[in-house]
């Protein structure tokens, strides 16, 4: 899941692409595990990264 967060931060890949890249074939399972680990969905995680980047400028 840490690798998936790194990939999401690059903004180069969709959530589905990232899930597949880290070995998940089932997107709902990936989302559930991501939420359990990070406390937020992969999509929201990406949005938070955008907000934090803007606030740090």
The model's pTM is 0.79
What is the chain's pLDDT, residue by residue, as a tens digit (57 residues)?
999 999 999 999 999 999 999 999 999 999 999 999 999 999 999 886 654 544 444
* Confidence (pLDDT) at 5: 97
> Residue 19: exposed, middle, or buried by beta-carbon count in 10 A (0-12, 13-18, 19+)?
buried
* Confidence (pLDDT) at 54: 44
49 Cβ contact partners less than 8 Å away, ≥ 6 residues apart = 8, 9
* Confidence (pLDDT) at 46: 81
Structural domains of the chain, ranges and CATH numbers in brackets: 2-45 (1.10.10)
Distance CA 29, CA 51 (A): 26
């Amino acid at each position: 899941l840490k690798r998936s967060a790194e990939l999401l931060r690059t903004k180069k890949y969709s959530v589905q692409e990232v899930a597949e890249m880290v070995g998940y074939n089932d997107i709902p399972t990936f989302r559930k595990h991501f939420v359990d680990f990070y406390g937020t969905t992969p999509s929201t995680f990406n949005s938070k990264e955008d907000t934090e980047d803007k606030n740090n400028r």
